[in-house]
Amino acid sequence: MVRQAGSLELAVELALDHIPNTDHWLCERLEVLRSEKMRGSWVIAWDSADYPQMWRELPDPPLVVFGRGEACKMANSDCHVAVVGTRNCTAEARHVAFKLGKALAQRRAIVVSGLARGIDAAALRGACYVGCRTLGILGTGVGSVQPQSSIPISKRMMELGGAIISERPSGMPVHGWHFAARNRLVVSLSDAVVVVQSPSKGGALISAQFALDFGVTCWVYRPESGLNTLRWAGNRRLLNEFPTMGWQSTEKLADCITGDKRITNSFVAEQGLPLAFRSTWRHIMETRGAQLDTLAMLSGIDSASMRKQLHTMELGGWVRRMPGGWFVPLKI
């Protein structure tokens, strides 16, 4: 019926008009599709030309996927890179994820992630800092981004031509296994998977196993110190088994994955910001907020000069002063 109607949306309308009222099971599912459309979502069916071929090859491919943002052609030839890791990451790992997202976006790779807090969100913020299109694949419906801390970055992703995608309709109950299941979509859509930080258990290790099963190249960050601690137990396990997966330099890894594509140094997130403030702004963006003394130390200037910078940035609508001497970014 989809091919006859020309689109999934028209097929839904035609089906709802002609299916007998007694067929409640099918009517309910068709009503879900129409409801998503009315909420502003787009829908890609399994037999659509835009449906990723890699998902068709999964043992359990979603029959339809729902999305918001740019209804992009996911079946194109762009380089997609999944950046994954723990929600409860260290400051070092968050910094690395942000730098990696930025380095990949500078080479026009599309960062794919799960929009969880921690590594996922940091990598997506790095890509959005450049102004590159990104894809977030959710375990929830597209109408209920979780956690709430990821809502601002999801909006920024869509403003920059990216999208958030889910195989689950909005309003449906959410279970823990949904987040693990979405990892198969993240991995199979990608040309490479990069594990930034993982403890001994978690979604990042599930994604790494999917990469091994699907034949997708997998890379694992090797920290300069601390690899033998619990916070890096998952990395250690993978590197002990697959030593050649290890990497340390974000720039070298981005070059390796993308094939040394031409780099752009034009960052959308810095447009209109005075050059003298950009170092401070980058620190605030990476951490999603920092205190004055910390920013002064990181930037190598005295507290009085940093206070003047932050005051000017606050007047310009770049940052907001919060209780406790914290400054958070207003422009993602």
In DSSP terms, 82 is beta-bridged to: 112, 193
**What band does 170 get if pLDDT is binned at 50, 70 and 90?**
confident
Tell whether the model's pLDDT for residue 30 goes beyond 70: no
Q: What is the pLDDT of residue 275?
A: 87
Tell whether the model's pLDDT for residue 73 goes beyond 70: no
Question: Strand runs (DSSP E) across 242-300, as ranges?
Answer: 246-247, 290-291
From CA 295, how far away is CA 292, in angstroms rounded? 5
| Better-predicted residue by pLDDT, 321 or 180 | 321
Give per-residue pLDDT as tens, 39-70: 667 888 888 888 888 898 999 898 888 899 98
Burial class for 87, CB neighbours closer than 10 Å (0-12, 13-18, 19+): middle
| Better-predicted residue by pLDDT, 29 or 285 | 285
Q: Percent of the chain, pLDDT > 90?
A: 53
The mean per-residue pLDDT over the stretch 295-302 comes to 88
Q: What is the pLDDT of residue 269?
A: 87
In DSSP terms, 112 is beta-bridged to: 82, 135
Domain ranges of the chain: 80-258, 272-329
The mean per-residue pLDDT over the stretch 295-318 comes to 91
Q: What is the pLDDT of residue 204?
A: 95
Domains 80-258 and 272-329 are alike in CATH topology: no
CATH topology of domain 80-258: Rossmann fold (3.40.50)
Tell whether the model's pLDDT for residue 97 goes beyond 90: yes
The mean per-residue pLDDT over the stretch 260-286 comes to 83
Burial class for 152, CB neighbours closer than 10 Å (0-12, 13-18, 19+): middle
Tell whether the model's pLDDT for residue 28 goes beyond 70: no
Of 96-110, 144-158, 203-217, 228-242, the one with minimum mean pLDDT is 144-158
293-317 core/surface letters (b: 16 or more CB in 10 A; e: else): ebbbebbebeeeebeebbeebeeee
CATH class (in words) of the domain with range 272-329: mainly alpha
Q: What is the pLDDT of residue 4?
A: 58
Q: Please give the torsion angle defined by the CA atoms of residues 311, 314, 319 and 325, in that order, rounded to the nearest 10 degrees.
A: 40
The mean per-residue pLDDT over the stretch 112-124 comes to 94
Can you tell me whether residue 225 is helix, strand or coil? coil
What are the two backbone dihedrals, phi and then psi, of residue 19, each rounded to the nearest 5 degrees? -80, 135
From CA 243, how far away is CA 260, in angstroms rounded? 23
Question: Strand runs (DSSP E) across 93-188, as ranges?
Answer: 110-113, 134-137, 163-166
Give per-residue pLDDT as tens, 125-156: 999 999 999 999 998 888 888 888 888 999 99
From CA 244, how far away is CA 208, in angstroms rounded? 14
Tell whether the model's pLDDT for residue 11 goes beyond 60: no
On whether the CB atoms of residues 216 and 190 are closer than 8 A, the answer is yes
Give per-residue pLDDT as tens, 212-229: 999 999 999 999 999 999
Burial class for 139, CB neighbours closer than 10 Å (0-12, 13-18, 19+): buried
| Radius of gyration, CA atoms only, the chain | 21
Q: What is the pLDDT of residue 82?
A: 97
Q: What is the pLDDT of residue 22?
A: 45
DSSP per residue, 37-71: HHTT-EEEETTSTTS-HHHHTSSS--SEEEEEES-
Average pLDDT value for the chain? 86
Q: What is the pTM of this model?
A: 0.83
Tell whether the model's pLDDT for residue 232 goes beyond 60: yes
Q: What is the pLDDT of residue 225?
A: 93
On whether the CB atoms of residues 146 and 114 are closer than 8 A, the answer is no
Within a 10 A sphere around the Cβ of 6, how many other Cβ atoms?
Answer: 9
